[in-house]
Structure 1
Amino acid sequence: MAVDLRQVMAAVLTFSMFIMLGNMIKRDHIDPLLEPLPASSGVHYDVLKVSKPGMVKLTEITYGPWQEQNEAAKPCWKKPSFKEKQQSNGYIFFSLTHGPEFHASQIANAVMVARYLGATLALPDIKLGSKLEEKRRFGEIYDADKFMASLKGVVRVDKNPPDDLSNGRLPIVKIPDRVSEDFIPSNIKPIFHSKRNLKIVTYFNSSAMAKGKTDKLSNPYQCLAMFESLQLQGELQEVVDSMVGTLRSLSKKMSGRFVAVDLRVDKLGEKGCQESDSAKKCYNAEEIGEFLKKIGFHKDTTVYLTQTGWHTSLNAVRNVFPNTFTKDAIMPADEKAKFMDVENHAYEKFIDYYMCTQGDAFIPAFPSKFYEGVVGERIGLGKTQIFVPVRNTSAAANEYISPYIAKKSHFAHSCFC
């Protein structure tokens, strides 16, 4: 029987190609999983698990001081209730001001006062600045239905109070942040009984915030109002969720984790944020980059910065962590016109606030009410991995855990068990 030499050669070449292909697959996809890592790499691999016959799955790779997220904290409060006859015909009006980090406290105060007086709470507006055109309706930022549902049985909330009241001149009463029940009888109740309707304005003690002093909340109404009533309205929440999803997809080597850093260049030079004899108050981009590197975060870590627009000083972070982004880079293009133009600049504060609550780790570059507010939200979510840069030569991440967490000094701890 004659042998066709061309067929023999074709068979040899085909066999050789299969061998080469097998070697390439082994080299590129199998060997790296089986190759031992150097002890100094700082990378830890979980045990390889076989999920299906013939398939090897690397379950998780961890670079740096990541911790598993705790379960969401359980609220210590029980939802109170009222009887209809306890409700008066009077209204309590208030506005949400300054920024999202102040809003939960303002709502807690309003609920406290309305509950004590048996008054109806008018759905607040939101002041984004000093100009009238910078005012927004509550539903443009937050979910009004969620707000009203969360407070059902606590206080009555009216979406549409009488125009002659909401547009008229009301007596104004200033009250301290986290107002106590003892304050209301002598300072608010007489005015309310006389006028039947009034507006409350919460003032915040800036010196107490600077020192990190936080009093506990006095009752369950405040806890419920502060940690259960606010949720972004649907479209804005979708934007935040999309941005979080983008960061997680970009951080595949980190198992989908990312670090959120409150770093705004314009804040670093403000009064009260300079270096003092006793402590360094603020940390710039270069120092934040070195800090993250020092406590063990790998160069492939994805970092989110609250800065709006890229500033050249931020290159110092990106030089250490190439996967560093601001909201401008990861916000869906079709949403930028609505949420990032000059006219709607204040939406960015809400986006940053909620991005920082969702980060797997959070680092504040300077002390602020923003930092305090984010920590409170994260305590409720079980996201307690919060590091604060301080002057310290130690490279151990646990040396930099926020005192709000390490010492349980944040008022949110009085609301969650």
Structure 2
Amino acid sequence: MKTNGPWMEESEALTPCWKLCLTDEIEDYKGFVTFSLTNGPEYHVSQISDAVVIARYLQATLVLPDIRGDRPGDERKFEDIYDVGKFINGLDGVVKVVRELPDSVSIRDFEVVRVPNRVSEAYIAEKIEPVFRSKGNIRVASYFPSVNMRKTPQKDGSDTLACLAMFDTLELKPEVNEVVDDMVARLKTLSHNSGGRFIAVDLRVDMLEKKGCNGGASATKSCYNAHEIALFLRKVGFGSGTVIYLTQSRWDESLDVLKDIFPKTYTKESVMPAEKKSRFLESEDSEFEKVIDYYLCSRSDVFVPAISGLFYANVAGKRIATGKTQILVPAEIPGTSSPITSHFSPYISKRNHMAHTCFC
């Protein structure tokens, strides 16, 4: 049985460019900037970037964010998921970070300021700085006019800082990272016939249903179901022995068609160590599941986004930084086959991801 597929060698990890540029330290900090991490890890990196850029511009102190889930009251501390030391040290000399507000400052006195993701210095000067100077403290809430991470033609003074914030401040705490390590190791063991290589597919049934991927015609198809993904992978050359990891947490019968063609298809419940499931899979909180998917998709040999959006965009950024550039965008392929090179993500083939401005 043919199990080898069109695997490619990884590129070398890239070198950060921003460390050559950030030299000016702030002497006198004025006021505080607070924010929360929401909607999952693909949003977290962008929210951190916005808050850091704003705090630096305003010469304000940044307060360590909390993490908020989808349901009201679903809150956890930053250190429940991420490495606090890495975050604070990564911003050392760039932005002052404190774990919490001093007792003398009340959160009720903060003005909430909504900002577009990838906020520019011009926007900060016009829309945010006057509020900060008037109120003394602000709470930043990012919104996302666009969910892609393409390079912008014009340079902004905050680009260097945004690069550092997105790619050098956020790491999982060791306990959570260990779970990802264990799952990656398990998938590599299962794929020994393919040299330990596996594919991660961002395919979540609930998201497909929300996006209406199972019916209707659209000029631009933005999501693919399990059957379409199976046909795509087979037509670009992956054999039936290929190991596939799905971001779907628990098996759904709609995925059976994918497993029929690729029997070694797994979800978290199949590859997560049994002793970790009660903490990271069987709780009512899905935040850990989202984080595990994000970091596992960043480390797989091949990444296939069945759903277009910010998860795809920010996973692509992490992969570009580490040289894992085999990102395949699904397509409906007429005929029986298609060269894999025809389906590389534009983030790779056109080098139009903002990560390409951050790394040399």
TM-score w.r.t. the length of structure 1 is 0.81
Q: 2:22 aligns with which of 75, 80, 88?
A: 80
Deviation at 1:275? 4.6
Q: 2:50 aligns with which of 71, 87, 109?
A: 109
5+ residue gaps, structure 1, are 1-40, 44-62
1:60 alignment counterpart? none
Moved more, 313-322 or 114-123: 313-322
8 Å CA contact 1:143, 1:232 repeated in 2: yes
Comparing both chains, which one has the higher relative contact order based on Cα–Cα distances under 8 Å and sequence gaps of 6 or more? 2
Q: 1:304 aligns with which of 224, 238, 245?
A: 245
Counterpart AA for 1:413:
H
CA distance in 2, matches of 1:261, 1:91: 40
| Residue 129, structure 1, aligned to residue 70, structure 2 | yes
Aligned length: 352
Deviation at 1:303? 0.6
8 Å CA contact 1:143, 1:231 repeated in 2: yes
CA distance in 2, matches of 1:348, 1:294: 30
Counterpart AA for 1:346:
E
Deviation at 1:176? 0.8
8 Å CA contact 1:275, 1:282 repeated in 2: no
| Residue 364, structure 1, aligned to residue 267, structure 2 | no
Counterpart AA for 1:251:
S
8 Å CA contact 1:338, 1:344 repeated in 2: no
Residues 272 and 299 of structure 1, relative CA distance in 2, 3 Å threshold:
closer
Deviation at 1:191? 1.6
Give the 3-state SS of the residue equivalent to 1:75 in structure 2. coil
The superposition leaves residues 42-90 of structure 1 with CA deviations (integer Å, 9 ceiling, x where unpaired) of: 78xxxxxxxxxxxxxxxxxxx11100011111112125244452x3231
Q: How does 1:185-224 map to 2 (within 5 A)?
A: 185-205=125-145, 208-209=146-147, 212=148, 214-216=150-152, 218=156, 219-224=159-164
Deviation at 1:177? 0.6
1:9 alignment counterpart? none
Q: How does 1:386-405 map to 2 (within 5 A)?
A: 386-393=327-334, 394-405=337-348
Give the 3-state SS of the residue equivalent to 1:168 in structure 2. helix
Q: How does 1:9-408 map to 2 (within 5 A)?
A: 63-78=4-19, 80-85=22-27, 87-132=28-73, 134-165=74-105, 167-205=107-145, 208-209=146-147, 212=148, 214-216=150-152, 218=156, 219-271=159-211, 273=213, 275-393=216-334, 394-408=337-351
Moved more, 268-277 or 67-76: 268-277
The superposition leaves residues 265-294 of structure 1 with CA deviations (integer Å, 9 ceiling, x where unpaired) of: 111122465653423332111111111111
CA distance in 1, matches of 2:229, 2:72: 35
8 Å CA contact 1:150, 1:228 repeated in 2: yes
Counterpart AA for 1:91:
F
Give the 3-state SS of the residue equivalent to 2:29 in structure 1. coil
Give the 3-state SS of the residue equivalent to 1:268 in structure 2. helix
Residues 376 and 83 of structure 1, relative CA distance in 2, 3 Å threshold:
closer
CA distance in 1, matches of 2:208, 2:130: 44
8 Å CA contact 2:33, 2:61 repeated in 1: yes
Counterpart AA for 1:279:
T
Aligned residues: CA RMSD: 1.8
Deviation at 1:400? 0.8
CA distance in 1, matches of 2:103, 2:205: 43
Give the 3-state SS of the residue equivalent to 1:362 in structure 2. strand
8 Å CA contact 1:308, 1:327 repeated in 2: yes
The superposition leaves residues 127-174 of structure 1 with CA deviations (integer Å, 9 ceiling, x where unpaired) of: 112412x11110001000000111101111111221453643410111
Larger radius of gyration: 1
CA distance in 2, matches of 1:157, 1:118: 12
Identity of aligned residues (%): 46
Moved more, 355-364 or 291-300: 291-300
Residues 255 and 118 of structure 1, relative CA distance in 2, 3 Å threshold:
same
Deviation at 1:373? 1.2
The superposition leaves residues 312-337 of structure 1 with CA deviations (integer Å, 9 ceiling, x where unpaired) of: 12111111111111011111111111
Residues 164 and 342 of structure 1, relative CA distance in 2, 3 Å threshold:
farther
The superposition leaves residues 21-46 of structure 1 with CA deviations (integer Å, 9 ceiling, x where unpaired) of: xxxxxxxxxxxxxxxxxxxx878xxx
CA distance in 2, matches of 1:275, 1:400: 23
TM-score w.r.t. the length of structure 2 is 0.93
5+ residue gaps, structure 2, are none
Counterpart AA for 1:361:
V
Q: 1:410 aligns with which of 343, 353, 356?
A: 353
8 Å CA contact 1:275, 1:281 repeated in 2: no
